Amino acid sequence: MHTLHTTEAGFEAARHLPTLPAGHPQQRLHGHSFVARLRAATGPAWRHFPGSEVSQLREHLAAQVQALDHRLLNDTLDTPTDTQLALWLRERLQADGLTQARVDVQSTARGGVELDPQGHPHLWRRHVLYAAHQLPNVPAGHKCGRLHGHGFEVLLHARQNAQGTVTAERLDALWAPLHRQLDHACLNDLPGLENPTSEVLSGWLWRQLAPQLPELSAVTVYETASCGARHDGTDYRIWKELTLDSALQLRHAPDGSPLRRIHGHTYTLRLHLCAPLDAVMGWTVDFGDVKRLFDPLFKALDHQPLHQLPGLADCDAATLATWVLERARAELPALDRVDLYETPGCGAVVAWNEAAALAL
């Protein structure tokens, strides 16, 4: 079992990027509402008591970005790109003893940078398309067999190279002809998308882009805000996201700590599954089946006092995510990771293997 804790912190800052081509708008002084995200392994030194890791990590990241908040970033870094900001934060956090620290920096709703476990930056860009589809191979009566539509979101992830040719402008330019094909269209009408599941669409996009973009590292397709698929040229991964409104208390919190009192969260629970693509159905696991098979556990968690769950040692995010992963795999054997967030971006990632835990 591999466990990482996660947190995020926002900061407001100005910058200008002098190395960009003449006339580029970001050469001029401008500002962003940045979000920094951290996923890291935490040892005993990173907790006042078992279960305090999330709150301590949140406080620590907030203190680090305080050095950037409401400042001109060029006073800290000569060229404060998203990549350089992420690497600057990662270096400081690793110096503080956080191992496997993976730092992401997002500067706009459309893009940012993710650092992989080795610290290599991956630029990502978000694109939206409005399209219809139907799944021709589903059983009779399945709702996805009817023609319907989605506001899909597609994230393109590409590893930045030493030559500096992987840029937001290049990703946008490569996306443009695909957008013209896919947007306001019926996906089934396009060659190769006769069975346009999220997995098939992510693989189709990979095959269109990879020959032109060898640095491509993943294609993520959000079918809805709560489910989607990702393809990296080899594996297909899907996720299903749920929210839980639950009560809890932390048994190991010291007397006087607010965490020892009964309180509550609106949790975000994300189930990750990895499996071969079914040749007929075009999916790894049906999103509807994930929801249906997980439903008994969902009912045991939602609108419940979590501290009364049998077999649950405590109610911190990591212990609870582990409890979910161990029990859900009986019905969902492809499940290899559970993310549980107490508040946006703040919680724990628990996975059966290191690759799943550290995946972008």
How many residues can be counted in the chain?
360
144 is catalytic: yes
142 is catalytic: no
CB-facing half-sphere around the CA of 232: CA atoms within 13 A: 12
Query: What is d(CA 291, CA 332) in angstroms, rounded to the nearest whole number?
Result: 10
First to last CA, the chain: 18
Q: Helix axis angle, 198-209 relative to 168-182, nearest 10°?
A: 120
Catalytic residue among 24, 70, 142, 184: 184
Catalytic residue among 8, 114, 223, 342: 223
Catalytic residue among 144, 227, 315, 346: 144
**Whose structure tokens read 């006092």?**
305
Q: Which amino acid is at 70?
A: H
Which of 217, 111, 127 lies closest to 174 in space, CA to CA? 127
Listing DSSP states for 134-151 in one string gives: --TTSPTT-GGGS-EEEE
346 is catalytic: no
Other residues' Cβ atoms within 10 Å of the Cβ of residue 22:
5
Residues labelled as active-site residues: 144, 184, 223
